[in-house]
Amino acid sequence: MGGHGAGRGRRRRPEQWSWRRRGRVLAGLAVLLACLLVFHGAVPAGLPGRPGSLLETFLPWLGLAVPLLAALAVLRRAAVAGLAALLPAAAWLGLFGGHLLPGEERAPDLLAVQHNVSDENPDPAGTARALAATGADLLALEELTSAAEPAYAAELAPRYPYHALSGTVGLWSKHPLADVRPVDIRPTGIGEGWNRALRATARTPHGEVAVYVAHLPSLRLSPTHGFGSVRRDESAALLGAAIAAEPADPLILLGDLNGTVDDRGLAPLTSRTEPPPRDFAFSWPAALPLARIDQVLTRSAAVTRIRSLPATGSDHLPVAAHITWRAPARGR
């Protein structure tokens, strides 16, 4: 009798099992989060809804789940879950910790600014003045409308005597431009009036540089269809082919690419250019920036620093990139 009673006394109470189960669930979520961060490339991008591209667009924000998991582990006194939360924390720091470090401060060979100025911008003249005040060597603009273009041209002319236009994209430069031509990045089913890319040669004091300006198709995010990036991805492939065929170096690509550099849909571009510096520089949406979809990519040159600039009348923030010349890129 006594032995039997002692055995019953050693049984764990139901609430103890409950705490342990909760700890295991939190630990499992922490491991899953770490796997998503480290192995995000394994999430299929070709499925309907493009889940891989959607994840990679907002990948840095997965880090917000780490303190939440840690707090829940403390509240539930789940030591295993608390230790497991270190895994996604380490994964996030490995991917994005460098973004928190100060950027390189050396003087650039060239300063470039990229901005989707918005076709609904209520103050194009004010936006142009703000961009001119940056002192950039090159200004790349997208969503230029025929009604607003004269305002940009008038405000930018005193500091930027050279400019080129193709459809709704434009390039303003302090240095002479030559070999200007449109680049066809129309996805299937889009008519000839859709012109959203150009190529020019800028004759800078450091030598000639091939400059591409592009605005890739917009993404569509919906509960029923997920991440609509088919046309964006097709345009990225066409632009990537044009860059691959470009004989000139150095090369600079400025544009609203409607994707982050982690998004594999932009691989035709990012695989042929230098990796950008480890800076967040979120540019969209301007009211609450969540991602940098405005990009400055280079070949045979390096972006040593990239930063977002104060808001204009657009739904995007401008981004400014410090560029220095160097040996040909690995991805060429």
Cα(137)–Cα(120) distance, rounded to whole angstroms?
26
Cα(245)–Cα(26) distance, rounded to whole angstroms?
50
The pLDDT profile of the chain, 332 residues, written as one tens digit per residue, is 555 555 555 555 555 544 455 688 888 888 888 888 888 878 876 666 667 777 777 888 888 888 888 888 888 888 888 888 888 888 878 878 766 766 556 678 999 999 999 999 999 999 999 999 999 999 999 999 999 999 999 999 999 999 999 999 999 999 999 999 999 999 999 988 899 999 999 999 999 999 999 999 998 765 544 567 889 999 999 999 999 999 999 999 999 999 999 898 999 999 999 988 878 899 999 999 999 999 999 999 999 999 999 999 999 999 999 999 864 434 33
Cα(254)–Cα(140) distance, rounded to whole angstroms?
6
Copy the structure tokens of residue 194: 């859709």
- How many other CB atoms sit within 10 Å of the CB of residue 249? 18
Copy the structure tokens of residue 200: 């020019």
Q: What domains does the chain contain, in order, with CATH numbers? A: 2-100 (no CATH), 110-325 (3.60.10.10)
pTM of the model: 0.79
Torsion angles phi and psi, residue 248, rounded to 5:
-80, 145
Copy the structure tokens of residue 51: 């889940």
Q: What is the largest CA-CA distance in the chain?
A: 100
Q: Is the Cβ–Cβ distance between 261 and 286 less than 8 Å? A: no
